[in-house]
Amino acid sequence: MPYNTPAFSFKWLSSSILGLGSAFMLTACATTGTASPGQTSGQTAKTSPAPQAKNVILFIGDGMGISTITAARIFDGQSQGKKGEEHELAFDTFENVALIKTYNVNAQVPDSAGTATAMMSGYKTNIGAINVPPALLEARSADVCNPAALPDTMTQRAQSAGKAVGILSTARITHATPAAMYGHVPLRDLEADTDIKGPFAGCSSLAQQMVGSQAEVIMGGGSKEFSNAQMQTLKTDFIYVDTKTDMKRAKTGKLRGLFNRDHMSYEADRAGSQEPSLAEMTSVAIDRLGTDKDGYVLMVEAGRVDHAHHDTNAYRALTDAQALNEAVKVAKAKAGADTLILVTADHSHVFTMAGYPVRGNPILGLVKGFNRETRTIDITEAEDGKPFTTLGYHNGPNVREADSPALTDNMVQDKDYRQQTAVNLNYETHAGEDVALFATGPGAEKVRGVMEQNKIYNVMAAAMGWED
Which DSSP category does 139 fall into?
T
Q: Which of 16, 112, 204, 223 is catalytic?
A: 112
**3-state SS assignment for residue 162:** coil
Single-letter amino acid code for the residue at 27: T
Tell me the C-alpha distance between 356 and 390, whole Å: 8
Phi (first) and psi of residue 213, to 5 degrees: -70, 145
Phi (first) and psi of residue 60, to 5 degrees: -125, 115
Phi (first) and psi of residue 55, to 5 degrees: -125, 155
Single-letter amino acid code for the residue at 272: G
Question: Residues, the chain, total?
Answer: 468
Instruction: List all residues 6 or more positions away from 455 whose beta carbon is below 8 Å from its beta carbon.
Output: none
Which DSSP category does 213 fall into?
-
Q: How far is CA 461 from CA 192, 394, 456, in A?
A: 31, 37, 9
Q: Among this protein's residues, is 112 annotated catalytic?
A: yes
SS3 content of the chain, % helix, strand, coil (to 5): 30, 20, 50
Tell me the C-alpha distance between 300 and 10, whole Å: 27
Residues serving a catalytic function are: 112
